[in-house]
Amino acid sequence: MTMLRSLARRLPHPLLSRLYHYTRLREESTRATQAAARSGLPLLETLDLPGLRASDTLFVLGSAWSINDIPEQRWQIIERCDSVGLNFWLAHPFVPRFLHFEAIACDQQPEMYDAFLTLAKRRAEAYVNTIKIVTEVSPTAGRQTLFDLPDTMKRNLYVGFSMPVVARNEEELRRGIDFMRLIGAFSSDHRIQWLFKYGGSVIAMMTLAVLMGYKRIILCGVDLNRQDYFYQHHERYPEYAGWEFAARNDQHLTTRQLPWLVPAQSAVWIFKEMVLDPAGIELYVESPVSTLYPKVPLADQSLFDQLGKKPRPADSSL
């Protein structure tokens, strides 16, 4: 980051973006290849992800508190569509068709590392047939969750990586997305090696939805307000409710105005405008408590009723 800031003072943003992208692409590709070899896992690019799409709608399952407010009737409808859970989604009883999680380094986040492995061991059997994608692999010398997963959890697990853009403000983010579009980051005419990501995992999953050919994305548990999570509900999740990796009442980290980071709400709105809308892909939030609403419309009951008439997706096992 120090070198990046130094270059930013001397280079125009378009040149900086390209230099950063191709340097990081080489590093991340090498890191993912090494991690896959060490863990005996296949790379994401070996998987025909578009061929696994079984519905027109993808539910993205985040971990915010509003997940606890989704009624059983809606879960039955969500089960009829493709869905992808994020990171600590493993704590929830609902098993999605896809799971995306980021590798956690023990030396950087030991409590989170231990908690994730606890979940992975308890939920491994339930996730045998779920297609799993791991990204954000750390340098392979240290301990991290990817290398310590139970063997059952490694079935149908693929190693990929994400690629961000350099953006200190909304204008630079727009330029960065234009560059990503130029190099084919949102084109489905090739195998998926990496996912565009800016800030948290939500944009990475929206990129995945674009590449897999979904026509509609519904964000669940993507509240982007406080840092309290569904598994901190004491009655429903007594074993996990004590987990607190960040102060619960603090503003969500990705929504803060920080150097080199456009707040998550603005990033999602820009992604919708520049990538989803031109492709005719609809974006909704499941809950009005999400700070994305009302710029991102609410998935009302009539939409859920419509989705409830769709057949269930085929088994995702390979």
Q: Is this prediction's pTM over 0.85?
A: yes
Q: How far apart are CA 228 and CA 246, in angstroms?
A: 8
Counting residues of the chain whose pLDDT is more than 70, the rounded percentage is: 90
Q: What is the pLDDT of residues 155-204, one digit of tens each?
A: 999 999 999 999 989 999 999 999 999 999 999 877 899 999 998 899 99
What pLDDT is recorded for position 247?
Answer: 65
The chain-wide mean pLDDT, for the chain, equals 91
What pLDDT is recorded for position 251?
Answer: 58
Q: How far apart are CA 202 and CA 184, in angstroms?
A: 19
What pLDDT is recorded for position 284?
Answer: 98
Q: How far apart are CA 222 and CA 192, in angstroms?
A: 24
What pLDDT is recorded for position 24?
Answer: 93
What pLDDT is recorded for position 317?
Answer: 47
Tell whether the model's pLDDT for residue 237 goes beyond 90. yes
What pLDDT is recorded for position 133?
Answer: 98
Q: How far apart are CA 218 and CA 298, in angstroms?
A: 9
What pLDDT is recorded for position 252?
Answer: 53
Count how many Cα atoms sit within 13 Å of the Cα of residue 123 in the half-sphere of its side chain. 20
| DSSP conformation class of 153 | G
Tell whether the model's pLDDT for residue 86 goes beyond 90. yes
pLDDT confidence tier of residue 5, bands split at 50, 70 and 90: low
Tell whether the model's pLDDT for residue 260 goes beyond 90. no
Q: What is the pLDDT of residues 31-79, one digit of tens each?
A: 999 999 999 999 999 999 999 999 999 999 999 999 999 999 999 999 9
Tell whether the model's pLDDT for residue 4 goes beyond 70. no
Single-letter code of the amino acid located at 53: R
DSSP 31-72: HHHHHHHHHT--BGGGS-SGGG--SSEEEEE--BGGGGG--H
Tell whether the model's pLDDT for residue 144 goes beyond 90. yes
What pLDDT is recorded for position 234?
Answer: 96
- Residue 15 vs residue 89, higher pLDDT: 89
In what helix (H) or strand (E) does residue 271 lie, and over which residues does it extend?
Answer: helix 264-271
Tell whether the model's pLDDT for residue 318 goes beyond 60. no
Residue-wise burial string across 104-130, b where 16 or more C-beta atoms lie within 10 A, e elsewhere:
bbbeeeeebbebbbebbeebbeebeeb
What pLDDT is recorded for position 316?
Answer: 45
